[in-house]
């Protein structure tokens, strides 16, 4: 029990953080908001998976992936393909030239389901694919890059190029992927209508639980020796290498872990929002995921969730009323967080709020703090 507390929750601080987070997303939000808003929050929380993945890859692994949307998208598309096939039964597609295939294929003059779509008739396969495909893809990229010691900005730009390539491919191969519109009109999961209010509540809670579990898995990795090794790696990579570790394999592992976590987010996105499109795969969404993690604090797993919620709430609020202003604000966020708050919300909490609480607890006179600047100015 003690080891669960220490290794999976991260000791007292981590456990308190987890508890607060769980209460906020599982009790407070459902009480405060109607199902429309809650579903929107659920959507944001799926992005939080990508941000948590980035905390691991960027914050702890030291490599900035600008292609996190690729994995988010892969997870989402796998589930979307299953749902689309279920929605494209013979009865609902009877007016098509070729009934029984997804509508966008019919529009693009396809007359049979492509071979790679076939296995997605099975939900089990789709779920496994949603987890394994992104991991495999990340593994291939990771091996190719880390074994050859590509790192730093090179790694970032290449992952960004991968995101660009995949978007162009998905958009270009309309008949196979649904093109720019993506895979839409998803209705049921094994006959269970995912668009009803009750289904949305269920999916919201499944998503919340998965997110908390993902954070716990990451916490476990970080409190293990691997976590200390990652810290060592950022400090003196050569020393780690010459202490008998295959450095590349650790970077590959953390990159794959980040990919799988993002993919879970993508899969939950598809289920909660009811479609998947290339606009969650490309350069822009991928780098926005980085800003979620950065605002939360790049080394804070829980901060990543709050960062995601904050940025998206801001985005929704502003794009409704002042769409132009939002882009300026977003740009400002990138610059501001890097220059002024490199540790994001978590940094503010640790550096400002926690000492304040500590001071309040120990009842130290606040006078001391006020007096300090005066003393300096003399």
Binding site for other proteins (CB under 8 A): 58, 64, 144-145, 148-150, 152-154, 156-158, 160-162, 164-165, 168-169, 171-172, 220-221, 224-226, 228-229, 231-232, 235-236, 238-247, 249-250, 253, 283, 287, 290-291, 294, 324, 327-328, 330-335, 337-339, 342
The nearer residue to other proteins, 120 or 255, going by C-beta atoms, is 255
Contact (Cβ atoms closer than 8 angstroms) between residue 110 and residue 93: no
Least Å distance, CB 50 to other proteins, is 16
Q: Mapped to the 3 state alphabet, what secondary structure does the chain carry?
A: CHHHHHHCCCHHHHHHHHHHHHHHHHHHHHHHCCHHHHHHHHHHHHHHHHHHHHHHHHHHCCCCCCCHHHHHHHHHHHHHHHHHHHHCCCCCCCCCCCCCCCHHHHHCCCCCCCHHHHHHHCHHHHHHHHHHHHHHHHHHHHHHHHCCCCCHHHHHHHHHHHHHHHHHHHHHCHHHHCHHHCECCCCEECCEECCCHHHHHHHHHHHHHHHHHHHHHHHHHHHCHHHHHHHHHHHCHHHHHCCCCCHHHHHHHHHHHHHHHHHHHHHHHHHHHCCECHHHCCHHHHHHHHHHHHHHCCCCHHHHHHHHHHHHHHHHHHHHHCHHHHHHHHHHHHHHHHHCCCCHHHHHHHHHHHHHHHHHHHCCCCHHHHHHHHHHHC
Residue closer to other proteins, measured from CB, 39 or 65: 65
CB of 225 to other proteins, least distance (A): 4
Q: 93 vs 160, which CB is nearer to other proteins?
A: 160
Shortest reach from residue 304's CB to other proteins, in Å: 15
Residue 22: CB minimum distance to other proteins, A: 25
Lookup: tokens for 174 = 């309309």
Nearest approach, Cβ of 375 to other proteins (angstroms)? 27
Taking the complex as a whole, how short is the minimal distance between the CB of residue 226 and other proteins, in angstroms?
A: 4
Q: How far is the CB of 336 from other proteins (least distance, A)?
A: 8
CB of 128 to other proteins, least distance (A): 21
Q: How far is CA 263 from CA 79, 90, 174, 254, in A?
A: 10, 30, 22, 14
Smallest distance, Å, CB 144 to other proteins? 4
Smaller CB distance to other proteins: residue 111 or 324?
324
Q: Compare residues 18 and 291 and give the one whose CB is closer to other proteins.
A: 291
CB contact set of 181 (below 8 Å; sequence gap of 6+): 104, 277
Q: How far, in Å, are 107, 302, 327, 330 from residue 135 at the CA level?
A: 32, 23, 33, 30
If the CB atoms of residues 187 and 241 are measured against other proteins, the closer one turns out to be 241
Which residue number, 274 or 282, has a Cβ lying nearer to other proteins? 282
């Amino acid at each position: 029990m003690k080891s669960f507390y220490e290794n999976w929750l991260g000791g007292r601080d981590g456990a308190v953080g987890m508890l607060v987070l769980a209460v906020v997303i599982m009790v407070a939000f459902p009480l405060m908001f109607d199902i429309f808003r809650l579903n929107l929050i659920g959507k944001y929380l799926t992005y939080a998976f990508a941000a948590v993945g980035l905390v691991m890859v960027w914050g702890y692994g030291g490599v900035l992936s600008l292609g996190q949307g690729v994995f988010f998208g892969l997870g989402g598309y796998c589930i979307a393909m299953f749902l689309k096939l279920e929605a494209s039964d013979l009865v609902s597609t009877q007016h098509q030239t070729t009934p029984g295939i997804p509508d966008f294929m019919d529009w693009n003059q396809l007359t049979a389901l492509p071979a790679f779509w076939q296995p997605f008739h099975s939900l089990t396969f789709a779920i496994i694919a949603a987890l394994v495909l992104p991991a495999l893809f990340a593994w291939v990229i990771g091996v190719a890059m880390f074994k050859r010691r590509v790192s730093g900005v090179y790694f970032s730009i290449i992952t960004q190029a991968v995101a660009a390539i995949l978007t162009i491919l998905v958009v270009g191969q309309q008949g196979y992927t649904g093109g720019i519109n993506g895979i839409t009109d998803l209705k049921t999961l094994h006959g269970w209508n995912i668009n009803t209010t009750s289904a949305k509540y269920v999916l919201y809670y499944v998503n919340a639980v998965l997110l908390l579990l993902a954070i716990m898995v990451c916490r476990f990795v970080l409190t293990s020796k691997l976590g200390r090794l990652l810290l060592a790696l950022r400090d003196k990579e050569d020393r780690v290498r010459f202490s008998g570790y295959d450095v590349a394999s650790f970077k590959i592992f953390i990159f794959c872990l980040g990919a799988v976590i993002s993919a879970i987010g993508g899969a939950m996105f598809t289920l909660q929002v009811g479609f998947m499109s290339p606009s969650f795969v490309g350069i822009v969404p991928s780098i926005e995921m980085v800003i979620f993690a950065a605002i939360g604090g790049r080394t804070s797993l829980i901060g990543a969730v709050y960062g995601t919620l904050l940025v998206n709430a801001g985005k929704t609020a502003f794009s409704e009323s002042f769409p132009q202003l939002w882009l300026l604000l977003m740009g400002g966020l990138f610059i501001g967080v890097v220059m002024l708050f490199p540790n994001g919300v978590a940094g503010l909490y640790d550096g400002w709020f926690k000492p304040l609480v500590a001071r309040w607890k120990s009842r130290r006179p606040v006078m001391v703090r006020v007096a300090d600047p005066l003393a300096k100015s003399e």
